[in-house]
Amino acid sequence: MTAAASNRPRYFALIPAAGVGARMEAGSPKQYLPIAGKPMLRHAVDAFLASPLIAHTYIVVSADDGQIDGLVPEQGVTVLRCGGATRMETILNALQALHGSIAAHDQVLVHDAARPGLTPALIAKLINEVGEHPAGGLLALPVVDTVKRAGPANVSAQTVPRDGLWLAQTPQMFSYALLHRALSQAPDPQTITDDASAVEALGLAPRLVEGHPRNLKVTLPRDIQTAELYLAHS
């Protein structure tokens, strides 16, 4: 291997899947709910497996998860049983478990288990458009609707200018070193709603790459039908 090849970053997928999905009111973790004929999580896993750019995929679950073993394929995926109480803790635990296996400059693509609409094309777009941007980047959608700020009793109190507003999606991609530093140094974990916000807390500006509505996050029961409509036209 040449020096140039050894310095070229590899791309790893990391899917935190230790949550319980309380808002789905499904009685079991939402990542295992069936969507379009297979568990929701498997759609995301299959997108990464179908991408020639991804070196390996890691799924992070809680230590007592009893459903993951029957879901993952035999090759290309490793299950890490180190999930934490929060998404941020789960990801940080996984990064610590992978210390030494992933180089500091290798890129980690963190993706929500509840986004089954991911495609290899979106993965490639993120990787290509972020390029060597030192602060990494994320898929996101520009806000096109008029935005209202609610007052008491849900009255419309203010119209918020939408210029420059984006809705964050995943994957969110950062170097292993940067992501580990950002999450480890987060001053207030309660304010870290996604990985990009942890990087922003360091004073850095991740690149926004336009994603696609099909990459929606399944949060409420009604989202399942929308996700299935997109998956039916894959």
pLDDT tens digits, one per residue of 160-212:
999 999 999 999 999 999 999 999 999 887 788 999 999 999 999 999 999 99
pLDDT of the residue at 5: 59
What is the domain-level CATH number for residue 16? 3.90.550.10
234 within a domain of the structure (yes/no): no
Contact 209, 137 (CB under 8 A): yes
pLDDT of the residue at 22: 47
77 within a domain of the structure (yes/no): yes
Contact 109, 126 (CB under 8 A): yes
233 within a domain of the structure (yes/no): no
pLDDT of the residue at 4: 54
From the list 141, 143, 189, 129, the residue with the least C-alpha distance to 168 is 141
The string of pLDDT tens digits covering residues 144-156 is 999 999 999 999 9
pLDDT of the residue at 19: 76
The residue range of the domain holding 205 is 3-228
pLDDT of the residue at 46: 97
- Which parts of the chain have pLDDT scores under 50? 1, 22-24
Count the domains in the chain.
1
- Taking the C-alpha atoms of residue 203 and residue 135, their distance in angstroms, rounded to an integer, is 10
From the list 115, 122, 164, the residue with the least C-alpha distance to 139 is 122
CB neighbours (10 Å) of residue 181? Answer: 17
158 within a domain of the structure (yes/no): yes
pTM of the model: 0.93
